[in-house]
Amino acid sequence: MHCREEETSVFWIETDEELTQAVASWDDCVGLDTEFIRTDTFYPIPGLYQIASGSQIFLLNPLTIEEWQPFISYLTDPSKVKVMHACQEDLELIKHHLDVNPANIFDTQFANAFVGEDFSLSYANLVRKLVDVDLQKQQTRSNWLQRPLSEEQMIYAADDVLYLVPMYEALKSALEDNGRLSWFAEDMALRGHYAEPDPGAYFAQIKRAWQLSQRELARLKALCRWRENAARHFNMPRNRVVWDDHLMTLACQEHVVTSTLQDLLPKAVVKKYGAALLDAHRNGSQAELPAPLDKPLTAGQNARVKALRSVATEQARQLGFAAELLARRKDVEACMRAYLKDASLSGHYQGWRQAILGAQFLQILSN
């Protein structure tokens, strides 16, 4: 069993004054992680921020700190490197809680994909690989809103950031040695920025939505927009408001009145949201028609997608990095669709990927 190095100091930060002093002491490169709860809410609830600066760990208590500006100033300073692992949920939390996007993020999980064949290696496995330390992972399902935190939680929280900066140094060096630091930076600029999705865009994700007529699609879009805004307003998971399947059923109805809702939906939903659902359905019936959604690819198009993925996977194997950087199905399908529209590669396959795959992709796509 691994114990943290003896010289590591852990500081519990729970007042505005302590936060100001802590931030002033941090290095120009720190490890950053968050712990949060998200079981009954739309938005994550912050339970803890962890910072590793040199041999010091700072655990910031979001339940008591009120003035976050020193932390925000550090997060948004592009001269400071914030090292994270699998950063995307953490960035969503930071955006919702502090309303900022941190600058200059280095994601160790993502960086590792450019110099090794694992696309989503866990923090514990990457620590084992790069710094030869075995971590005990037992607190992932903890209640991070309880106070005081248990000793096990404190150790876990500290361990989660302790090795980020050493891993950053190893990975940055490997990226430079392989000439891939600019590739990683290009992708990280997109990956390291969280934007809350447009409430009007969710409808396109619903299974079978592509089968609807344009008028039905307009109703589905209006119903989904209402549900998305309601989930955010009441801070509830989407399916606690109304299920996707129920919205699909309503979208297919030309005329809806209260009795229709009572036939199709659970009583509690009709009682709470009936009037709003009728409004949304009416709005969708009068709204401008949206563009049709993409239909599934044909057999011939799927054969080309398979050929593209095969070429991309082989190229990644030869270069010794994760195949997912080049060959994820959703990325390759999007490239197929972009080519069908205007005979060009999708944005994902421009930039650094174009030099590696562009010519081969265009050859396959044009056949």
pLDDT at 2: 40
Residue 174: exposed, middle, or buried by beta-carbon count in 10 A (0-12, 13-18, 19+)? middle
CB proximity list for 145: less than 8 A, separation 6 or greater: 37, 45, 47, 63
Torsion of CA 253, 258, 262, 265, to 10 degrees: 60
Which of 286, 313, 338 is the C-terminal boundary of a domain?
286
Same domain, 149 and 22: yes
pLDDT at 232: 97
Domain membership of residue 215 (yes or no) is yes
Domain membership of residue 208 (yes or no) is yes
Are the C-beta atoms of residues 108 and 11 closer than 8 Å to each other? no
Domain membership of residue 294 (yes or no) is no
Residue 71 belongs to what domain range? 9-191
Domain membership of residue 1 (yes or no) is no
Same domain, 74 and 206: no
Tell me if the bond preceding 199 is cis, omega within 30° of 0: no
Same domain, 181 and 95: yes
Same domain, 229 and 110: no
pLDDT tens digits, one per residue of 162-171: 999 999 999 9
pLDDT at 3: 44
Domain count, the chain: 3
CA neighbor of 217 nearest in space, from 295, 286, 284, 294: 284
CA distances from 277 to 61, 97, 235, 242 (A): 40, 30, 18, 10
pLDDT tens digits, one per residue of 255-291: 999 999 999 999 999 999 999 999 999 999 999 999 9
Are the C-beta atoms of residues 47 and 145 closer than 8 Å to each other? yes
Same domain, 229 and 274: yes
Residue with tokens 């968050």: 34
CATH of the domain at 312: 1.10.150.80
Number of Cβ within 10 Å of residue 150's Cβ equals 12
Question: Has this prediction a pTM greater than 0.85?
Answer: yes
Same domain, 259 and 303: no
Are the C-beta atoms of residues 42 and 237 closer than 8 Å to each other? yes
Domain membership of residue 120 (yes or no) is yes
Alpha-carbon gap, residue 367 to 358, rounded angstroms: 15
pLDDT at 121: 96
Are the C-beta atoms of residues 279 and 247 closer than 8 Å to each other? no
Same domain, 236 and 353: no
Which of 191, 214, 238 is the C-terminal boundary of a domain?
191
Same domain, 349 and 266: no
Mapping DSSP to helix (H, G, I), strand (E, B) and coil, where does residue 82 land? strand
Which DSSP letter does residue 68 get? Answer: -
pLDDT at 44: 97
Q: What is the CA radius of gyration of the chain?
A: 24
Which DSSP letter does residue 192 get? Answer: T
pLDDT at 11: 97
Which of 174, 191, 208 is the C-terminal boundary of a domain?
191
> Which residues of the chain are modeled with pLDDT < 70?
1-6, 137-140
Give the torsion sign (CA, 301, 307, 308, 310): positive
